[in-house]
């Protein structure tokens, strides 16, 4: 569904302020997709429609995410709450969207996951399902080709399908993220520093 309903859905799925709730946190030699630590921050270039904006995503505090310790990230796209279930990065909040149980948004290369649960939006709660797949991808970062983890989440809410593709540099966090509904790009972000 495109139009007003698609834009509304896109607005609530704005990544952990990357997707967009972005999680690029440094913790020494941590090999997790996104090492999380309170006080860490990254600068991103955000784009949606014809709008472009620079913004900072910061890890604000520890919070529970599912049954584990997680972190709250704040940025131009709102608040996101992320944590780990084993090696999987999960989110129970992405902007103004709440997910129950937490949705895997980052998994190890070659891993697959499926999810069924509830998505709560300002207009109410809806049943949803998702598939999550990760592979290896090359991307130019800081002028150098890097091998990254590319995790793609296909979230189905009613008749709408939202695709969230995130490029992770393990141990460093989110490098790039795109959210699409159908053929259109709803939202994108690219790390500038951090």
66 C-beta neighbours (distance < 10 Å), count: 17
Give the pLDDT confidence score for residue 30 in this predicted structure: 56
Return per-residue pLDDT of the chain as tens, 194 residues.
334 444 444 444 443 333 333 333 333 345 788 878 899 888 999 998 788 999 999 999 999 999 889 999 999 889 999 999 999 999 999 988 999 999 999 999 999 999 999 999 888 999 999 999 999 999 877 778 889 999 999 999 989 999 999 999 988 889 999 999 888 888 999 999 76
CATH value at residue 31: 2.40.360
Integer Cα distance of 77 and 44 in angstroms:
11
Please state the φ and ψ torsions of residue 51, each to the nearest 5 degrees.
-80, 145
Domain span including residue 62: 4-193
Q: State the total domains in the chain.
A: 1
């Amino acid at each position: 569904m495109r139009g007003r309903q698609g834009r509304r859905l896109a607005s609530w799925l704005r990544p952990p302020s990357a997707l967009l709730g972005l999680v690029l946190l440094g913790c020494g030699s941590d090999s997790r997709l996104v090492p999380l630590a309170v006080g860490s921050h990254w600068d991103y270039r955000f784009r949606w429609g014809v709008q472009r904006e620079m913004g900072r995503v910061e890890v604000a505090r520890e919070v529970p995410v599912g049954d584990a310790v997680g972190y709250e990230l704040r940025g131009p796209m709102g608040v996101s709450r992320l944590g780990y279930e084993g090696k999987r990065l999960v989110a129970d909040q992405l902007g103004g969207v709440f997910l129950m149980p937490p949705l895997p948004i980052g998994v190890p290369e070659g891993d697959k996951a499926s999810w069924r649960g509830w998505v709560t939006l300002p207009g109410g709660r809806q049943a949803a399902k998702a598939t999550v797949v990760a592979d290896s991808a090359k991307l130019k970062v800081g002028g150098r080709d890097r091998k990254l983890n590319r995790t793609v989440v296909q979230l189905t809410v009613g008749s709408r399908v939202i695709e969230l593709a995130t490029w992770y540099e393990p141990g460093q966090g989110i490098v790039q993220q795109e959210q699409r509904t159908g053929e259109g790009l709803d939202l994108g972000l690219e790390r500038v520093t951090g």
